[in-house]
A and B are shown apart, each in its own frame.
Chain A
Amino acid sequence: MTLKQVVDNVAAMPASKKAVVDIKDLSLTFQTADGPVYALSEVDLTIEEGDFVSFIGPSGCGKTTLLRVIADLEKATGGEISINGVSPEAAREARAYGYVFQAPALLPWRSIERNVTLPLEIMDLSKEERIKRAHDALKLVELNGFEKKFPWQLSGGMQQRASIARALSFDADLLLMDEPFGALDEIVRDHLNEQLLKLWARTNKTVAFVTHSIPEAVYLSSKIVVMSPRPGRIIDVIETKFPKDRTLDIRETPEFLEIAHRVREGLRAGHGHDE
C-alpha cells in the first residue's frame, strides 16, 4: 500500500461518516456542600452521522449529564466538545437537535397538534408550514387523528410518542433521547422501540439514547457506550453489526446474547469496587 493510498483511505472514511458529536477529555464537576461531585471525568467519544448510540450504566454514572452537556443544558467544566463542528451553545441556538425527556413534558394547555408546533412557533415558521410539519411528524409516530386531543386524553405511551413527534417536527438531524421509555411498561416499550428503529432506518438521523435496560440498548444501537459512576466515565464502547432494519427477533440470536453479555460484564467491572 502506498502512502497516497493510505492518505486516501483516511480521507475517504471521514468523508463518508461525518462526526456529529466530538468529545475530547470532557469533565464536569458539581460543587456541592459535601464537596465536589465528579459527574463526568475524562470522557472521549465520537458520534458519527447516522449512528444510534446508547448510553448505559447504573444511576449516577453521568449518562444523563453527558446528554445534557451535548444539549447545552449543562456546561462542561473541562475538556472539549463540539456538535456539528461548533460549540453546544451555538448548536442549540441553531436548533441542531431534538430532545426527548424522561417524561413527555407536553404543555397541558395545548392540544397535541399545538404541542408539536410549539418549537416551530418559536422558530417563527408560517402557520401552514407548522401545521403541515406537525401533521407529518404525528404521522411518523402513528398519532395522526389525535391532533385536537389534549395530552391528558392520551395514554402514557401515546403522550411519549407525541413528545417524540415534537422533537422530530423541526427536522433536526440529531435526536437526543433521555430514557424516553423508562416510565412505560414492557409491552408498550417494545412497540415504541420497533417504531423508533423504523424511524431511524427511514430518516438516517443520528440518535443518542440514554437507557438503563441492557436489551433495549443492544436491540436499538449501532454503538453502545457503557458507563460507570464515581467518577462518571466511559469504560467500554461496543459496536453492533445488526442491520438497520432489524426486528425484535434478533433478541434470540447468539450475537445479541453475546453483546448483551459483554455489556453486562462491562457494567459489573465498572461497579465491582464498591459493591
Chain B
Amino acid sequence: MTQVKLDKFCLVGAVAALLALIFPLAGIDGDTGKQVAFVGDIPGLASAMALCVIAGAAFTWIGVCTILHAGILLAVAVFGAWQAIDALYDYGVAGYASTGFWLFIISLWAFVWRAIDVIANYHSLETVKQQSANIIVPIAFGVWLLFVWEVVVSGFGVPQVLLPPPSMIGVRFVSSTDTMMADFYQTFVKAALSGYVMGCGSAFLVAIAVDRVPFLKRGLLPLGNMVSALPIIGVAPIMVMWFGFDWQSKAAVIVIMTFFPMLVNTVTGLNAAGKLEKDLMATYASGYWSTLFRLRLPAAMPFVFNALKINSTLALIGAIVAEFFGTPIVGMGFRISTEVGRMNIDMVWAEIALAALAGTAFYGAVAYVERKATSWHPSFRVRRH
C-alpha cells in the first residue's frame, strides 16, 4: 500500500468552499426581515465556489507539485476573488456578508497561500525564470492583502471614516489628480527636492573640508552620530517662524535633517580606503587632490549613497511634517491634516498613497544611480542563490 500524503491547504480550501455553498451567504436585512442574497441567485459566485471545491479536492489528492499546478490554483483563486467582489457590490452583499461568504474567503486564502508557497520555493537555474518567480510572489501577496482589505471593509460594512476600501481610495486618487499634482509639486518638487539637494550638497562639501582637520573630525563625528538620534523634526515650527509658510521653511527643515547623516557618512567614507591603497598612492607621490579624486572619493561612494538613500526618506517626511505647522493652502501635509479634519479619510489615504509612491520612486531612483555608479561594490555583484 502506498501512503497517500494529502495536501492540507488544498483540503482546507475544498472543505471551506463546500461549507460556503451550504452556509448562508449574507445576513438579514433589518428593514425587510429577509435574507439579502442567496448563493443560488448568484450563478457566478456559485460556480466559483463549485470550482474551488473541485480544484481543492483534486489538488488535495495529486498535490501542488509544479508551477503549472500553482498557476491553475492561482487562476481559480483570482476567478473566485472576482466573483466575491461582484457579489459584494452587484448583489448587495456588502455590509451583510455572513458565514458562507467568509468561508469562501478562507478557501481562497488557502489556495493563494499554497500557490505562493510553491512559487516562492521555486528554483530555476535560468535567471529570467527565477527572477520572475521572485517578483510574482510579493506582487501576488500584495494584491491578496489589498483584496482582503477590500472584502473585509465592505463585507463587514466598516464605516468609511474609519477605513475606506482600497477601491474607493483608488477612485479618489484618479478623480482628484489635479489637486494631488499641485500638492506633489509643492511638497515634493519645491520643498523636498530643493532641501535634499542643498542639505546633501552642503554636508558633502563640509565633510571634505572637515576631513582635512583631524581635530574637527574627532569633534564632529560623535556629535553627528548623536544628532541622528534626536527628534530634529521638532525644529519645524522654528523654521516656519523664520522662513515663512511657503516651501522655504520646509526646505530649511530638510536641510537640517539631511545634513548630519550625509556629513557622518561622507567623513566615514573618506576614511574607508584601505591602508594598502593609501600606501600605493604614496608610492606614486600622488598629491592630496589627486588621491582624493582617484582613491578616497570613489571608495567613499558606497557610504555617500547610503546617506543619499536615508536622506531621500527623511526629506519627504520632513516636508510633510513641517506642513503640519503652517503652510499655504497646498501641499501633501496640508491636505492630509485638513482632510483628516473634514473626515474625508479616502482623500487622506489617496495622499498617503501618493506619498508612498513618491517616496518609493525617489528611493528607487537613488538606488538605481547607486547601482550604476558603484557597480564594482561587492554588495551588487554577489547575487548567487
Contact = CB atoms under 8 A, between A and B. Distances in A.
Given A105-B277, A109-B374, A99 B298 contact: no
B274 A105 contact: yes
Interface stretch (B116-124, B206-214, B376-384): B376-384
A9 B281 CA distance: 42
B286 interface: yes
Interface in B263-308: 274, 276-277, 279-286, 290, 294-295, 298, 301
Interface stretch (A44-52, A119-127, A194-202, A220-228): A119-127
Given A92-B282, A107-B298, A101 B276 contact: yes
Given A103-B276, A107-B277, A152-B381, A122 B283 contact: no
Nearest to B374: A109
Contacts of B286: 122
Given A105-B274, A109-B376, A118-B294, A93 B280 contact: no
Interface in A86-107: 92-93, 95, 97-99, 101-103, 105, 107
A223 B301 CA distance: 45
A123 B377 contact: no
A123 B284 contact: yes
A109 B294 CA distance: 10
Dominant secondary structure at the B interface: helix
Nearest to B373: A109
Contact of A71 (B274, B276, B283, B301): B283
Given A103-B276, A107-B277, A92 B283 contact: yes
Nearest to B277: A105
Contacts, number: 52
Nearest to A153: B381
A119 B279 contact: no
Contacts of A71: 283
Residue among A73, A92, A98, A122 with the highest chain B CB neighbour number at 10 A: A122
B298 A73 contact: no
Contacts of A150: 376
A114 to B, nearest CB: 10
A122 B276 contact: no
A151 to B, nearest CB: 8
Nearest to A97: B283
A122 B292 CA distance: 12
Dominant secondary structure at the A interface: loop
B103 to A, nearest CB: 55
B373 to A, nearest CB: 9
Contacts of B274: 105
A108 interface: yes
Given A109-B298, A122-B290, A122-B294, A99 B283 contact: yes
Contact of B280 (A101, A121, A152): A101
Interface in B342-385: 374, 376-378, 381
Nearest to A99: B283
Given A121-B294, A122-B294, A152-B381, A108 B283 contact: no
Nearest to B382: A152
Given A73-B279, A121-B294, A95 B376 contact: no
A152 B378 contact: yes
A97 B298 CA distance: 26
Nearest to A170: B284
B276 A152 contact: no
Nearest to B298: A109
Contacts of B290: 122
Nearest to B286: A122
A92 B376 contact: no
Contacts of B301: 109
Contacts of A102: 276
Contacts of A107: 277, 294-295, 298
A68 B243 CA distance: 57
A105 B275 CA distance: 9
B276 A73 contact: no
Contacts of A97: 283
Contact of A73 (B282, B294, B377, B381): B282
Residue among B286, B374, B376 with the highest chain A CB neighbour number at 10 A: B376
B282 A95 contact: no
A123 B280 CA distance: 14
Contact of A108 (B281, B294, B376): B376
A105 B290 CA distance: 17
Interface in B232-284: 274, 276-277, 279-284
A169 to B, nearest CB: 11
A77 B294 CA distance: 32
A122 B295 CA distance: 11
Contacts of B285: 92-93, 95, 122
Contacts of A152: 376, 378, 381
Nearest to B274: A105
Contacts of A122: 281, 284-286, 290, 294
B278 to A, nearest CB: 10
A178 to B, nearest CB: 10
Contacts of B284: 95, 118-119, 122-123
Contacts of B381: 152
Interface string A181-219: 000000000000000000000000000000000000000
6 tightest CB-CB pairs across the interface, nearest first?
A: A105-B276, A109-B376, A99-B283, A108-B376, A93-B285, A119-B284
12 contacts: A73-B283, A92-B283, A93-B285, A95-B285, A99-B279, A101-B276, A103-B276, A109-B374, A118-B284, A119-B284, A123-B284, A152-B378
Given A101-B280, A122-B290, 14 more contacts: A72-B282, A92-B285, A97-B283, A98-B283, A101-B279, A105-B276, A105-B277, A119-B284, A122-B281, A122-B284, A122-B286, A122-B294, A152-B376, A152-B378
Interface of A: 71-73, 92-93, 95, 97-99, 101-103, 105, 107-109, 118-119, 121-123, 150, 152
